[in-house]
Amino acid sequence: MIGSGEHDEVAEICRDLIRIDSSNWGDGSGQGERAAAEYVAGELAECGVQATILESAPKRANVLARITGTDPTLPALLVHGHLDVVPAVEDGWRFPPFSGEIADDCVWGRGAVDMKDMDAMILAVVRRWARDGVRPRRDIVLAFLADEEAGGRHGSHWLVDHHPEQFEGCAEAISEVGGFSVTLANEARLYLIETAQKGLAWLRLTARGPAGHGSMTNDGNAVAALVDALGRLTAHQWPVRLTPTVRRLLDGVADTLGLDPATPPDDIVRHLGPLARMVGATLRNTAAPTMLDAGYKVNVVPAAATAHIDGRFLPGHEEEFMATVDRLLGPGIERETVHHDIALETGFSGDLVSAMVSALRAEDPEAGVLPYCLSGGTDNKAFARLGIRGYGFVPLRLPPDLDFSGMFHGVNERVPLAALRFGARVLDRLLVAY
């Protein structure tokens, strides 16, 4: 198992990765993931693990490697993380976002939880295996990916389309946004494993009308039409739709707290503290306006106005979502899909789930473990096209007062050192034993 020396190693690797600015602006600008990919490949090479760097476009680099297990009859396990991060500007940050500063027992910087912490855990575990002569039971396929923050067009989806042979024999996968702890009011500690995630519908809405002078009446004002449509969309109260994953999570939280089984879902979710923002979004479909563009001069009515919507639909509810959006927009509003990806849901059962639970409880005997649905999405969507069953599992034992969900894409993103070390130990246990 990982010992005290590797504890420092996982933090140093995390710092190194944060200091490599791999910001993904979504428009092809920036430095790409090449420098981070070369760092990862170098770390693996030092362990005797041969890695392949595959570029989907200049500087858009993915790293693939396979560690051979002792039992070739077992299906391979895909362990993947992404190397890109969302951009960060320095305003509001306690430390520069790409400094990898260590302070207050945390590693600070963009990517600390999304998701260079997991990348560092994987590398620390593999380096420990090389030093101690450890081999896992099954083949472990490692993938460090580009472009997750913009939908994976240059990363996971490109690899599935052009290099599916890299994932030969993989039946299951683990990746980001799961395995973290949340502490309830009664001090019970629950670890949430992601077994489902909402689907993605990024939409562009366009209203058109006659251009004209702003001082004159204009019954076809495109800006007004678009604003009216957005008002209907944002005012809509989406109905609760409990998927099997969400229902099991709510039942588990209610049971842990001794709540009345008839407690409304929204009231149960409030007991999750800051995490309620993320989990609450999985009770129903959502559609959030995120971008607006119209006009070029204050006294000119433009001929067109556009808005972008971040739509997220629950597993099994895509048709309902799209039909509701169209009804609320009404006639005269054009709808285009900018980016679409599927919703996922798998069961909270099987040998891998049992192994994840066992690895967590070996390090935290008081751990309660439940499934949950992610309000966003991960690269598991792409690998599902190859029939690979994906889970979110980046094990972190977190302080009760840390707003973990607020770390994702937020200012002052950071991961506690103790949580990082805990995660490396749990991941080591899981990958060796499973």
- Give start and end residues of each alpha helix (H) in 236-317: 244-257, 265-269, 276-280
The whole-angstrom separation of Cα 276 and Cα 179 is 16
| More confident call, 29 vs 285 | 285
Q: What is the DSSP letter of 375?
A: S
* CA atoms 368, 380, 434, 396: torsion sign: negative
69 and 80 within one domain: yes
Residue 194 lies in a domain: no
Q: What is the CATH number of the domain that holds 212?
A: 3.30.70.360
Indicate the number of domains in the chain: 2
Beta-sheet pairing, 170-175 with 389-392: parallel
418 and 303 within one domain: no
How far does Cα 149 stand from its chain's mean position?
A: 8
222 pLDDT higher than 60: yes
Return the pLDDT at 7: 54
Span 385-404, average pLDDT: 95
Residue 293 lies in a domain: yes
Q: Which of 316, 341, 366 is the last residue of a domain?
A: 341
Amino acid at 340: H
Grouping H, G, I as helix, E, B as strand and the rest as coil, residue 129 is helix
Q: Which of 22, 11, 97 is nearest to 63 (CA)?
A: 22
Residue 337, C-beta contacts closer than 8 angstroms, at least 6 positions apart: 201, 202, 203, 204
Span 16-20, average pLDDT: 98
Residue 278 lies in a domain: no
Residue 248 lies in a domain: no
| Residue corresponding to tokens 């020396």 | 5
328 and 414 within one domain: no
The whole-angstrom separation of Cα 173 and Cα 55 is 22
236 and 177 within one domain: no
Return the pLDDT at 414: 96
- Name the least confident of 213-217, 241-245, 280-284, 395-399: 213-217
The whole-angstrom separation of Cα 143 and Cα 44 is 12
Residue 29 confidence class, pLDDT cut points 50, 70, 90:
confident
Q: What percent of the chain has pLDDT over 90?
A: 91
DSSP string over 254-271: HHHHT--TT--HHHHHGG
Span 127-150, average pLDDT: 96
Residue 279 lies in a domain: no
Residue 28 confidence class, pLDDT cut points 50, 70, 90:
confident
183 and 221 within one domain: no
For 340-392, the pLDDT digits (tens) are 999 999 999 999 999 999 999 999 999 999 999 999 999 999 999 999 999 99
Question: Is the CB of residue 386 less than 8 Å from the CB of residue 160?
Answer: yes
| More confident call, 8 vs 296 | 296
Span 397-424, average pLDDT: 93
323 and 379 within one domain: no
The whole-angstrom separation of Cα 329 and Cα 335 is 9
26 pLDDT higher than 90: no
Residue 2 confidence class, pLDDT cut points 50, 70, 90:
low
Rg of the chain, C-alpha, whole Å: 23
Residue 354: Cβ within 10 Å count: 11
Indicate the burial class of 72 (C-beta count within 10 angstroms; 0-12, 13-18, 19 or more): exposed
- Name the least confident of 188-197, 211-220, 350-359, 393-402: 211-220
3 pLDDT higher than 60: no
Calculate the average pLDDT of the chain: 95
b/e code 87-114 from CB counts within 10 Å (16+ = b)? bbeeeebeeebbbbbbeeebbbbbbbbb
Q: Which of 295, 311, 341 is the last residue of a domain?
A: 341
Q: What percent of the chain has pLDDT over 70?
A: 98
Q: Which of 101, 159, 191 is nearest to 398 (CA)?
A: 191
How far does Cα 173 stand from its chain's mean position?
A: 14
Return the pLDDT at 186: 94
Residue 403 lies in a domain: yes
292 and 167 within one domain: no
Span 401-406, average pLDDT: 88
Return the pLDDT at 407: 86
- pTM of this structure: 0.92
Residues in the chain, how many? 434
4 pLDDT higher than 60: no
140 and 10 within one domain: yes
Return the pLDDT at 405: 85
194 pLDDT higher than 70: yes
The whole-angstrom separation of Cα 155 and Cα 160 is 9
380 and 324 within one domain: no
The whole-angstrom separation of Cα 167 and Cα 144 is 13
φ/ψ region of 186 (left if φ > 0, alpha if ψ in -120 to 50, else beta) reads alpha
Tell me which residue range forms the domain holding 301: 199-241+284-341
The whole-angstrom separation of Cα 249 and Cα 252 is 5
Residue 269 lies in a domain: no
Q: Which of 341, 359, 381 is the last residue of a domain?
A: 341
402 and 323 within one domain: no
124 and 182 within one domain: yes
91 and 63 within one domain: yes
Q: What is the CATH number of the domain that holds 364?
A: 3.40.630.10
Q: Which of 412, 341, 328 is nearest to 382 (CA)?
A: 341
| More confident call, 6 vs 313 | 313
Residue 31 confidence class, pLDDT cut points 50, 70, 90:
confident
338 pLDDT higher than 90: yes
305 pLDDT higher than 60: yes
Return the pLDDT at 1: 61
Return the pLDDT at 261: 84
Residue 408 lies in a domain: yes
